[in-house]
Structure formats: structure tokens, C-alpha cells
Chain A
Amino acid sequence: MTGPQPIAKPEVAASSDVQSQPLLGAGNSHVADAIFHLAMLACGLCVLALVGVILYELVKGSRLSWHAFGLKFFFQSEWDPVNEQFGALPFVYGTLVSSFLALLLAVPLAIGVAVFITEMCPRWLKGPLAFTTELLAAIPSVIYGLWAIFVLVPLLRQYGEPFSARYFGWTGLFEGPPYGIGMLAAGIILAIMVVPIVSSITREVMTAVPQQQREAVLALGATRWEMIRTGVLRNARAGILGGVILGLGRALGETMAVTMVIGNRPEIAKSLFAPGYTMASVIANEFSEATGDTYLSALIEIGLALFIVTIIVNILAQFLVWTVTRGTPARSHA
């Protein structure tokens, strides 16, 4: 503030001509407003239409396969393009196993990271750590795949798989020749890709837990860990579950990195060393080479199944996250 000072003398004369001749014309804005509203509405409806178009295209494309095989399609394990025999069971199996393996590895880590960032680490470290974990999400799938082929797979082949075969071979999950490439490699690379999404949502729901909950528990003489466990994690568990399910959705549909390391063989094997195939991978590998309408249609049907499953998973996850963060503003998870 510069303190009181004299007010400039208003120049009354300056606007004398103005009243007779208004500065602004009498533009009518109703029509323009309505047009603008409609245009924005059209953009909004585009989003709805997109989902409709996706569903339509997938249903249309998979009709042939659906008529030929029906529901059996998902329970048969023979995938023989030459004889036009198509069963998607190996892909469903591979998708489920690799995704669950990924979650098994990723969820404890992701929650640990979220707990560390929100509750334990010094303030100055919060931003950089959060940013770094989010950077993991920004790395494209194909680069993870490249890294996995040339770094992760050789490591597994030389050390990881022989080691786990020696000590855990008795479970039957770790036997057979250690190729490196196979279900285990796919699960690990998926885990790395899923960690950031699970941990960022876990952080979000933990932050949404009101501070009073923490203070109430601390006031009872709890240690920090007890406070986190009972005051924060317990209150946020629905949202964390939502984050985990969102991670599952991501893992189910992840394509490139998995395609590059899973081995791409439509077989169902108990051992995690064995090569496998996922729904997304088979589409990626065979779609542009699919000769024959039934073949293409079978691949599209796999896509349709993937679409429906990920939609259900996402809706469920969003609902769970919403139960915790409702009231705090929404955030999109890019």
C-alpha cells in the first residue's frame, strides 16, 4: 500500500459523447451460446459414443467365431489356425497367471512405498520419491520389454531360475529347463509396471483418511506403525483394494512387455519357467497375419473378452476407490 493519496480528477467530459453512442453494439448471444453448448455436448457425447463404437466393433467382429464355437471357445485349449480350431483357454490361463503373479509381487511393494512416502519419509523427500515412482509409469511398455529381453531374462536364466529350482523346485512351480523367457519373466516385468499405479492410488486414499483418525490413535499411545495400521490402512482398505484391482486391470491388458518375454506358446504348464501366452499377446502377434475370417474373428473375440473383463474390473475398482476418497476431488489416473 502506498497510503492515501489524492484521487485524480475524473474527466467527466471525456465520456460525454458516449451516452449518445454506446461503445458496444447490442449483440445477441443466445444463438452463439446455444451453439457452443451443443458443440461441447457433442464432444461429451463423443466419449460415450467411443465406448459404444468399441463394443459394436468387437461384437460385430467376433460374431463369426461366436457362432462357430460358442462359449466353449473359452474352455478349449486347442489353438490350431491351420485346421481352424480355436480355443482360448491357454490365453485366458496365461493372462490370469501372469497377472496374479504380478500382483503377488507388486502389491506388498506398492503398499510399502505408499506407506513410506505418505507416513514415514521426511517432507523434503516426498515430492522427489512420488515423482520417481510416477516416472516408472511413464516408461513405455516396449522399453520394459526391451530391458526385460536383454537384462532381466539373462539374469533369470543364469541365477534366478536355477536358484529357485534348487530351493523351491519341490513345489512344482519351479521346474523344467531355465529358459529365462516364460511366465516368471512376464510376471516380474508386469509387477514392475503395476507398482506405480497401485502405489499412487494407495497414496491417494491414505491421504484422504482424515488427520483426526491418525491423531485419535496416536493419542492412545500407539507407535507410528500401530497408528498407520489401525488409523490409516484400516480406514483406507477399501480404496487400497480398489487400487489393487485397478492394477489387475492394467496387468490383464498389458501387451508389449509381456509379448516380448512370455515365450508365446499356447500351452498350459504348471511350472512358471515354461513359456505361455496371454490374450493381449496373441492378438498382438497374430492379428496382422491372421488369414481366414474365422481366425481373425477368434482374435477379435479374445479382444472382446479382454474388454469386458477390464471394464468390469475398472468399474469395481473405481467404486472401491470412490468409497474412500468421496468428498475429496476426483483425480484421473494417467
Chain B
Amino acid sequence: MPETVTATADFAAAPISLWRRGMNSFATFAAAVSVILVLLPLGAVFGYLVYKGIGSINWAFLTQTPKPVGEAGGGMANAIAGSAFILLIASVIGVPIGIGAGIYLAEYGRNQLGNIIRFTADVLNGVPSIVIGIVAYGIVVLSQGHFSALAGGVALAIMMIPTITRTTEEMLLLVPNAVREAAYGLGVSRWRTTLSITLRTATSGVITGVMLAFARVAGETAPLLFTAFGNQYWNWKINQPTAALSLQIFTYAISPFDEWHRQAWAGALILIVLIVVAVSAVRLVAGRGMLKGAN
């Protein structure tokens, strides 16, 4: 871009003035300060989670259901299990569709329809989660007649699909064409090649995508408010209201009771540990090279 070069021509002639050196130092300083300002809340959030949460995590918290207001003790066991249950439902629905759509985009999607789907997935990624909650309410809760784990799972599945689709596509495209050709040359059919060679070569990358999607929805609350709804008791039925860790944290956080506040922090600590473990695992796998040895 020649425009850039002319724009810089004015300082090209002069030796570096005090002013310019000052600006340079100031900019460096300002950038460093913004890093600190951004890391500060991160540190504060984690610090408080550990500080407030760790004391409240105990055996009862992990194994009991909530006690009625006013009674001390009780725990979030049913909420932790409920979250796992809802996430399981979401994965069963979302992972196959997401991976399938990713395969379509990478292996068959070099066309107009592929571009449209790619674009739509990116758009879907930006739809607010609360809106997705409304939709899951409309298609599941209204037709079933009551709140349910299934409705929560559907909402989270809708949120997982675009992330999984796009990372799967990206990872499959990293697999060199020579690898596909090698399989075709052996007389392996196209679908077999895609599943057993291309997808298998990209497995760790695809898992990364799934984990990212997982981490992203694991703490979602808004789309569960009027789908899974929450429950004070254990529930393993797919068509019944179900507790979720994030919902429970929300309810307890805005309540006026100290005991519940304490438990909200404990629940939040557990939630964040689960998510950070997932994200770090992804980072570790990704850092070791998505496709080690694929040339």
C-alpha cells in the first residue's frame, strides 16, 4: 500500500527526536498498563472464587441436595449431576450434527451452498444465548407442556453446533490432500476415506473443537432459565425439570441468605475448575500440534 509509505515519509528525514522517543516509551507503557488492567479482574475473579469457595466445598456439598431456606447445610449434588445430564443430552444431539456439518463443509463444501452454510454457522455463533433459550422453549417446552432436561439440552446443543462445525472443518482442511489420495489409490471408497483416514488423522483437532464448545456451554445459564428450569431434587428423567450448576449459582447469588451465598461461591469454584481443566486440556493438545507428523 503506497499510502502507508507516504504517510510515514514526514518522519523519515529527521533524526529521532525526543518527542518521538517519548511517544514510543509512552505507548509501550500504556500497552503494558492495559495488560495489567485486564489481568487484574481475572486475578480478582479467580482469587475470590478460591478464597470464598474452597471453605464451602465439603462432602455434604458434593453429595446432598439443597436444604430448605433457613436450614444450614445441604449441597449441590443434584445440580452438578443435572449439569452433566443436560450436557450429555446436548452432546448427543450437537456433536454428531456439528461434526457432520464440518465434514460437509471440508469435503463437499467448496461451492455456493458451502459458503452459505459456513456463513450461517458464524452468524449462529453470535446469536445471544437468551434468544436460543426462547427458541428451545418454543419447540420443546411448549410441545411437551412442561420444562425439561431435554429442552435445556436442545438449547445447549444449538449453541455447540456452530463451534464444532467450524473447528471440525478447519481441522479436516489441515489434513493434506496427499493423505486422501493415498487412500483413494488403495481403492478405498470416499466415505470410508473421509471417516477412517481424514477424520481419524484430524481426531485430536476435532476433539479440541468439541471441548471448546463444551467449555463454552458448560457455564451457560440464560438458555436454561426457562428450559431446564431448575429443580430442588434429583432428576434423571429426560422430560422433567432438572437442576443445573449454573442455575443454582444464579438463584443462590441473588438470594438474601448468607448460607446460600457461600454455596454459590462453592458451586462457582467447581464450575470454573471444570471449565479451566477443559480449556487447558485443549490448549495442551493444540500446543503439541494438531496433526503431528502430517506433512
Contact = CB atoms under 8 A, between A and B. Distances in A.
B166 to A, nearest CB: 3
Interface residues of A, number: 107
Contacts of A250: 126
Contacts of A222: 8, 11-12
Contacts of A175: none
A334 B215 CA distance: 9
A223 B253 contact: no
A135 B23 contact: no
Contacts of B134: 57-58, 61, 283, 287, 299-300, 303
B138 A57 contact: yes
A331 B31 CA distance: 25
B172 to A, nearest CB: 11
A333 B279 contact: no
Given A29-B190, A256-B250, A221 B16 contact: yes
Residue from the set A254, A256, A314, A330 with the largest chain B CB neighbour count within 10 Å: A256
A146 B129 contact: no
A36 B120 contact: no
Contact of A108 (B34, B48, B221): B34
B238 interface: no
Contacts of B166: 330, 332
A36 B194 contact: yes
Given A36-B194, A57-B134, A231-B4, A256 B279 contact: no
Interface in A202-243: 213, 216-217, 220-226, 228-231, 234-235
B4 A216 contact: yes
B104 to A, nearest CB: 4
A44 B9 CA distance: 51
A307 B128 CA distance: 7
Contacts of A216: 4-5
Chain B's interface: helix, strand, loop or mixed, by majority? Answer: helix
Interface stretch (B58-66, B67-75, B267-275): B267-275
Interface string A52-70: 0110011011000000000
B276 to A, nearest CB: 7
A67 B282 CA distance: 49
B100 A40 contact: yes
Interface string A116-140: 1100100000010101111110111
Interface stretch (A1-9, A74-82, A147-155, A267-275): A147-155
B226 A287 contact: yes
Interface string B227-269: 0010000000000000000100110011000000100110010
Nearest to A57: B138
Contact of B265 (A27, A111, A146, A217): A146
B100 A109 contact: no
B45 A147 contact: yes
Interface in B1-44: 1, 4-5, 7-9, 11-12, 16, 20-21, 23-24, 26-28, 30-35, 37-39, 41-42, 44
Contacts of B165: 47
A88 interface: no
B178 interface: no
A315 B191 contact: no
B191 A44 contact: no
B116 interface: yes
Nearest to A142: B221
Given A146-B268, A216-B4, A133 B38 contact: yes
A256 B133 CA distance: 13
A52 B192 CA distance: 32
Interface string A304-330: 001100110111001000000000011
Contacts of A145: 250, 253
Nearest to B2: A216
Contacts of B48: 147, 150-151
A41 interface: yes
B11 to A, nearest CB: 6
Interface in B173-225: 173, 187, 189-192, 194-195, 212-213, 215-216, 218-222, 225
A288 interface: yes
B117 interface: yes
19 contacts: A42-B100, A43-B104, A46-B101, A47-B101, A109-B37, A112-B33, A116-B35, A117-B35, A139-B45, A140-B246, A143-B271, A146-B253, A150-B261, A224-B28, A306-B131, A307-B128, A310-B128, A332-B125, A333-B125
Given A139-B272, A283-B134, A314-B126, 18 more contacts: A33-B191, A40-B104, A43-B103, A47-B121, A109-B38, A120-B28, A135-B276, A146-B268, A149-B253, A220-B8, A253-B129, A255-B128, A260-B253, A283-B130, A287-B134, A318-B119, A332-B166, A334-B167
Closest 6 CB pairs of A and B: A140-B219, A253-B128, A43-B100, A112-B34, A29-B189, A36-B191
